[in-house]
Structure 1
Amino acid sequence: MDNNNIMRKDNLSRLSETEINIDHLNYLHYKFYHRDLFNAFEKYATGKLLDIGCGNKPYQKILPKSVNSYIGVDIIQSDENKVDILCLANNIPLESNLFDTVISTQTIEHVEDHQGLINEAHRLLKEDRYLIISGPMYWPLHEEPHDFFRFTKYGFTYLLQKAGFEIVEVKSNGGKWSVAGQALLHAVPSIYNIIGFKGFLLRTILKIIKTKHINSFFSKIDEEINDQTNTMNYVIIAKKK
């Protein structure tokens, strides 16, 4: 990442809660993402933990008791003032081989030097310990203009192996139907820009078919039809060899 952090807005609003109900616009994303992320925490997170891109540390409270230390780094301070160290993701001012676990959730797409982030995670981890990293394959532009990449599982694998990691698990967070439902909900606000009878008709339909109905419908289909050739997101667990 270069030094354009001075252009980034301080006290940026970040995720704070992990409970996302079925009325939430992004329920489909969080349902499948949190399922896989929390499972990864339970299986692999231990000891001294570093969070790269920690924001408001939304997952601190749900980490297993085996995690006894939590340090969060980010390029800017969060709106709840939770960041411990302000730094670039590819230049973290901490000594090597220091951590038992490194996590980086929904951050890598905002890092220009994404390979540098992964290399730093490898440097900071102890041998035979784990990186838990997540990032999107589908998602609208956000935190613009600092939104640079989307990743396939093969892209993640390449970057991690290049840094010296061994891939342990690759989790696709939902399949084609969850992507379809989430994309539909992301498109809904534009309906309010349609004028005339067509716009009136679509808005009337939306008053009947609410967000929770769309979430429920696409969630159930996605669970029945396990097609992950298109997914919203990935959670990857990698081990420092």
Structure 2
Amino acid sequence: MSSLGKRLLPASFHERLQVERWHVHQFVRTEAMPLMKSGIRVLDAGSGRAQEQFLREELLATGATLETCDFCEGPGVDFVADVSNLPMADNTYDIVLSTQVLEHVMDPQSVVEEMARVLKPGGALFLTTPQSSPLHNLPWNFFNFTNLGLRLLFDKAGMVVVKEQPQGGHFTLLAYQLHWTMNLLRKSNMPTPVKTPLEIIGRLTLGLFLKSILVWMDQFDTERLNTQGWNIMAQKPLLDSKDRTIANDIN
């Protein structure tokens, strides 16, 4: 079945209901893309193949030079390599993106250090990763992270965390659980006479109506302790205090 929300809702609101991706995409759009322009080199570390690079066209539209790296070969992948052993020289990129990758690597510390290594002094790393997530992309799903654990990784890599955002609060996480519930229902081996009406009712009540209410309610969770994950912007220290960081361009 095609997405009910996609057929019934305005495109912007339908995108907002994609709670598993929306906070990550908005973080890249509002924090990373304003720094991108002609002459800026960007590495998407752990990019996935073209069909998984949801923001590819928006990134290219900034005028920046985008290069991608992933463990799997395929369309849209410029470098096939492990992100714990990047094939790029030191101090190559102005910006490194790493979205929903760190949970899939065996040695998160070495990966953060590698991304820091290929950044130019003053360059920015934009990293997102789950705190609460079902197992996925098996068997390559090893960790979930708190913001405190991420700070330790960045600190040991010599990076300075300058911005930290939760990927929504408790109600966003509940909305994602509804999304996961619908996936389980769709994949289940229930008898068709039972499964089909449950799926129709579920798509209307859980997947559309209740999910919309939970997304609206999320603004009232001010603690944000029970979040889907974390979005982190970190910078590589300058060699000379007189030099400018890339973020100076919008400050």
**Which residue does 2:30 correspond to in 1?**
39
Contact 1:48–1:67 (CA under 8 A) maintained in structure 2: no
CA gap of 1:211–1:184, structure 2 versus 1, over 3 A, is closer
**Which residue does 1:4 correspond to in 2?**
none
**Which residue does 2:4 correspond to in 1?**
none
Contact 2:42–2:93 (CA under 8 A) maintained in structure 1: yes
Is 2:94 the partner of 1:100? yes
**Which residue does 1:129 correspond to in 2?**
123
Matches within 5 A, 1:42-57: 42-45=33-36, 47-55=40-48, 56=50, 57=53
* Letter aligned with residue 134 of structure 2: P
Deviation at 1:45, TM superposition (A): 4.1
Matching residue within 221, 224, 229 for 1:233? 229
**Structure 1 Cα separation of the partners of residues 183 and 146 of structure 2:** 28
Determine helix, strand or coil for the equivalent of 2:110.
helix
Q: Which 10-residue stretch deviates more, 59-68 or 134-143?
A: 59-68
Is 2:54 the partner of 1:58? yes
Contact 2:178–2:211 (CA under 8 A) maintained in structure 1: no
Deviation at 1:62, TM superposition (A): 1.6
Q: Deviations over 1:199-225 (max 9, x none)?
A: 899667526515121221110000233
Determine helix, strand or coil for the equivalent of 2:76.
coil
Deviation at 1:180, TM superposition (A): 1.2
* Letter aligned with residue 75 of structure 1: F
CA gap of 1:66–1:202, structure 2 versus 1, over 3 A, is closer
Q: Which 10-residue stretch deviates more, 221-230 or 82-91?
A: 221-230
Matching residue within 97, 108, 133 for 1:114? 108
**Structure 2 Cα separation of the partners of residues 122 and 22 of structure 1:** 36
CA gap of 1:97–1:176, structure 2 versus 1, over 3 A, is same
Matches within 5 A, 1:193-212: 205-206=201-202, 208-212=204-208
Deviation at 1:157, TM superposition (A): 0.7
Structure 1's unaligned 5+ residue stretches are 1-18
CA gap of 1:83–1:64, structure 2 versus 1, over 3 A, is closer
Contact 1:49–1:67 (CA under 8 A) maintained in structure 2: no
Contact 1:100–1:130 (CA under 8 A) maintained in structure 2: yes
* Letter aligned with residue 39 of structure 1: T
**Which residue does 2:137 correspond to in 1?**
143
CA gap of 1:233–1:207, structure 2 versus 1, over 3 A, is closer
Matching residue within 150, 162, 172 for 2:166? 172
Aligned residues: 220
Structure 1 length-normalised TM: 0.80
Contact 1:23–1:212 (CA under 8 A) maintained in structure 2: no
Q: Which 10-residue stretch deviates more, 205-214 or 124-133?
A: 205-214
CA gap of 1:139–1:24, structure 2 versus 1, over 3 A, is farther
CA gap of 1:24–1:95, structure 2 versus 1, over 3 A, is closer
Q: Percent identity?
A: 25
Greater fraction of residues in helix: 2
Q: Which 10-residue stretch deviates more, 143-152 or 217-226?
A: 217-226
**Which residue does 1:28 correspond to in 2?**
19
